[in-house]
């Protein structure tokens, strides 16, 4: 670069004949810090991807997909384990709100996040030793009541924090609804067993057949532990209050599935089975009924079509593929039969207001239908059993009254999972229970360390808008599909229906991720910067450095960033006082300290080779 024809202030004239070294030359950059032309400064500012935001336990999904893409499976597994104690379970059972939120869903098809999670979970299952270890003992004891997902998660995080944790569980086997609700053909028991083993490896004690309120009292909990987490779930099935509901052959969905899961079921179904309910539990019951030998299974729902049913669409699809029939817009008003069920009386019914969120109106003036069956399974939700809980901690929803930190008043009792979330608008699902258990564990830790519980109010920028990324870098690419056992064979066995992805498929699927708003060290900015003034001494997420003295603010890196993590921030927003620097080309002496001082000294220094 030549300065011929350029006016150079007297004090800056140096003895190499007016030839200015190019800015990229080592010392020339000191003389011409081209950054003084800049009006905006590029800044790496990671956003929260919508998948992470939607996951009930905020798994760092973008992070582990990126690690999987690079073949770093163990690192990816370690990352997932920060927030999720049993990825092999959620990799199978989770209703994956992350995928509903995934930005890729607006472009072609959402990333199959759950399938990648399952791959990592299965990798963890096969490790001789888990990557997670218990924290150094802090000498404090915590009891967890209930071994479902919320209790499991709280116990796991507390053990990592160094607490001596004991889980008290009233059932003969641990797992909560993961064992006594979610069917074996969704979650094989050996997978859950291995995850429970991992809890034991952390030094957690699990006492089964131990019911709080019967085998252990409230006062004993208070006396024997520094803190207690109540994660007791909703263990009692709801009734529809129909006439004749006590007849033989009437079964409730929750105990039906629980007994099968616990291996204690004695149920023998007849050939024709009706299931009352339109939600996920009803779907599990209908599909389980086929596997228990029923020939014709019909779901009877108040919802007037499948769109209104509060069910996961894939599960509904798979159920229909297996041959379950649907009858919509009907309520069971009586069970008919002489001692045992022979038929159901059905009346037209609808929700009086919002679907699934208002009372049901039954048209009893209409002539009823008779529906002939051998068994009816009632699956219309569940409620808690809290006779043992002091009244002051019960609320009008029939659940535990806890503050926003999950704490019961100013006691050292906390509550987590379905027992808190029912009726709050939060969906009842495993991942939400896990997230709740995790957050409550951290709150227990704070209270026991004497720290104040404070709401987190760090603003988060969730990147929903594809226009904030550079979509030209992402070719359309279909989602890798998981295979399913064929409907005719699967409905006769308890074999796992959905199959896992191979390693190649997992990597291919992970590589579809946009890495929304989050630097994944793709090197694009580094390569496109015309100066060049982006350096990457240590290459990893977000570790590039912009040499602001030389960045002209041309925006090329910002525009070309595929993920949208680079932002242009007006120079005046920085409080460093950098507005204009003093250089050979500056119209007037600028304000910047370092360069102007250097330049002053340079003019006074003897000539040297640069």
Ligand X SMILES: Cc1cc2nc3c(=O)[nH]c(=O)nc-3n(C[C@H](O)[C@H](O)[C@H](O)COP(=O)(O)OP(=O)(O)OC[C@H]3O[C@@H](n4cnc5c(N)ncnc54)[C@H](O)[C@@H]3O)c2cc1C
**Of 115 and 269, CB closest to ligand SF4:** 115
Residue 61 is a binding residue for ligand SF4 (CB under 6 A): yes
Cis peptide before 532 (omega within 30 of 0): yes
Q: What track of x and - describes contact with ligand SF4 for positions 103 through 132 (by CB under 6 A)?
A: xx------x-xx--x---------------
CB of 303 to ligand X, least distance (A): 18
Whats the size of the chain, residue-wise? 610
For ligand SF4, the binding residue among 14, 31, 55, 415 (CB under 6 A) is: 55
CB of 436 to ligand X, least distance (A): 7
Structure tokens that stand for 75 in this block: 């690192």
Pairwise CA distance, residues 532 & 228, whole Å: 57
**CA distance readout (Å), 257 to 320, 340, 364, 372:** 20, 21, 32, 23
Q: Which of 370, 311, 307 is nearest to 337 (CA)?
A: 370
Pairwise CA distance, residues 589 & 580, whole Å: 9
CB of 402 to ligand X, least distance (A): 13
Q: Which of 238, 243, 231 is nearest to 174 (CA)?
A: 231
Pairwise CA distance, residues 92 & 369, whole Å: 39
Residue 553 is a binding residue for ligand SF4 (CB under 6 A): yes
CB of 318 to ligand X, least distance (A): 12
Residue 281 interacts with which of ligand X, ligand SF4, none, CB < 5 to 8 Å by class:
ligand X
Residue 233 interacts with which of ligand SF4, ligand X, none, CB < 5 to 8 Å by class:
ligand X
Residue 430 is a binding residue for ligand X (CB under 6 A): yes
Residue 545 is a binding residue for ligand SF4 (CB under 6 A): no
**Of 80 and 331, CB closest to ligand SF4:** 80
CB of 232 to ligand X, least distance (A): 4
Residue 166 is a binding residue for ligand X (CB under 6 A): no
| Beta-ladder partners of 248 | 340
**Of 33 and 146, CB closest to ligand X:** 146
Residue 289 interacts with which of ligand SF4, ligand X, none, CB < 5 to 8 Å by class:
none
Of residues 77 through 116, those in contact with ligand X by CB under 6 A are: 93-95
Three-state SS sequence of 546-585: ECCCCCCCCCHHHHHCCCCCEEEEEHHHCCCCCCCCCCCC
Pairwise CA distance, residues 102 & 68, whole Å: 17
**Of 81 and 330, CB closest to ligand SF4:** 81
For ligand SF4, the binding residue among 546, 565, 581, 599 (CB under 6 A) is: 546
Residue 562 is a binding residue for ligand SF4 (CB under 6 A): no
Structure tokens that stand for 241 in this block: 């209050």
Residue 42 interacts with which of ligand SF4, ligand X, none, CB < 5 to 8 Å by class:
ligand SF4
Q: What one-character-per-residue DSSP string does 17-34 give?
A: TT-PPPTTSTTHHHH--G
Phi, psi for residue 534 in degrees, rounded to 5: -105, 130
**Of 81 and 96, CB closest to ligand SF4:** 96
Phi, psi for residue 100 in degrees, rounded to 5: -65, -35
Pairwise CA distance, residues 8 & 1, whole Å: 14
For ligand SF4, the binding residue among 23, 42, 180, 249 (CB under 6 A) is: 42
**CA distance readout (Å), 23 to 32, 470, 585:** 6, 30, 13
Residue 281 is a binding residue for ligand X (CB under 6 A): yes
For ligand X, the binding residue among 104, 160, 170, 490 (CB under 6 A) is: 170
CB of 51 to ligand SF4, least distance (A): 3
> Binding residues for ligand X, per CB under 6 A?
93-95, 145-151, 168-171, 176-177, 181-182, 186, 211-213, 231-233, 235, 254, 257, 280-281, 284, 417-419, 428-431, 433
């Amino acid at each position: 670069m030549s300065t011929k024809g350029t006016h150079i202030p007297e004090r800056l004239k140096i003895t190499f004949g007016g030839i200015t070294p190019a800015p990229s030359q080592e010392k020339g950059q000191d003389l011409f810090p081209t950054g003084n032309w800049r009006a905006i400064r590029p800044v790496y500012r990671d956003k929260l991807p919508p998948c992470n935001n939607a996951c009930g336990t905020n798994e760092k999904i973008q992070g582990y997909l990126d690690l999987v893409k690079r073949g770093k499976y163990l690192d990816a597994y370690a990352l997932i384990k920060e927030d999720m104690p049993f990825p092999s379970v959620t990799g199978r059972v989770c209703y994956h709100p992350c995928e509903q939120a995934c930005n890729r869903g607006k472009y072609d098809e959402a990333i199959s996040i759950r399938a990648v999670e399952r791959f990592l979970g299965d990798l963890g299952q096969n490790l001789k030793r888990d990557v997670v270890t218990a924290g150094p003992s802090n000498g404090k004891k915590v009891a967890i009541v209930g071994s479902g997902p919320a209790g499991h998660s709280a116990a796991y995080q507390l053990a990592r924090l160094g607490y001596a944790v004991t889980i008290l569980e009233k059932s003969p086997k641990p797992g909560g609804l993961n064992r006594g609700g979610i069917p074996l053909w969704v979650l094989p028991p050996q997978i859950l067993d291995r995850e429970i083993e991992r809890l034991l490896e952390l030094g957690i004690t699990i006492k089964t057949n131990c019911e709080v309120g019967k085998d252990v009292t409230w006062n004993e909990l208070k006396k024997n532990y520094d803190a207690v987490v109540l994660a007791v779930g909703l263990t009692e099935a709801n009734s529809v209050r129909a006439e004749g509901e006590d007849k033989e052959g009437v079964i409730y969905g929750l105990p039906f599935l629980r007994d099968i899961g616990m291996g204690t079921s004695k149920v023998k179904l007849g050939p024709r089975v009706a299931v009352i309910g339109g939600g996920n539990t009803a779907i599990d019951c209908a599909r389980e009924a086929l596997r228990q030998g029923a020939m014709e299974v019909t779901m009877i729902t108040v919802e007037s079509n499948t769109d209104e049913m509060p069910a996961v669409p894939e599960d509904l699809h798979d159920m229909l593929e297996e041959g379950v029939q649907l009858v919509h817009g009907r309520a069971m008003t009586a069970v008919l039969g002489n001692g045992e069920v022979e038929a159901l009386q059905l009346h037209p019914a609808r929700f009086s207001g919002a679907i699934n969120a208002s009372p049901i109106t039954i048209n009893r003036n209409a002539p009823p239908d008779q529906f002939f069956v051998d068994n009816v399974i009632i699956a219309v939700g569940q409620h808690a059993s809290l006779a043992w809980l002091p009244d002051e901690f019960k609320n009008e929803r029939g659940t535990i009254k806890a503050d926003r930190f999950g704490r019961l008043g100013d006691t050292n009792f906390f509550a987590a999972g379905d027992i808190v979330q029912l009726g709050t608008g939060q969906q009842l699902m495993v991942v939400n229970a896990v997230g709740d258990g995790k957050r409550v564990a951290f709150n227990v830790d704070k209270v026991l360390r004497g720290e104040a519980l404070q709401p987190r109010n760090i603003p988060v920028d969730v990147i929903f808008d594809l226009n904030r990324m550079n979509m030209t870098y992402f070719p359309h690419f279909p989602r890798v599909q998981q295979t399913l056992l064929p409907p005719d064979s699967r409905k006769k066995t308890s074999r796992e229906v959905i199959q896992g992805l191979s390693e190649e498929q997992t990597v291919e699927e992970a590589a579809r991720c946009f890495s929304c708003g989050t630097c994944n060290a793709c090197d694009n900015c580094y390569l496109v910067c015309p100066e060049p003034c982006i350096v990457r001494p240590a290459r990893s997420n977000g570790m590039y450095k912009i040499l602001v003295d030389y960045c002209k603010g041309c925006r090329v890196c910002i525009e070309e960033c595929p993920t949208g993590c680079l932002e242009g921030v007006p120079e005046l927003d920085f409080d460093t006082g950098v507005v204009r620097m003093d250089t050979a080309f500056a119209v007037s002496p600028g304000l910047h300290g370092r360069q102007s001082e250097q330049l002053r000294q340079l003019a006074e220094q003897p000539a040297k080779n640069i």
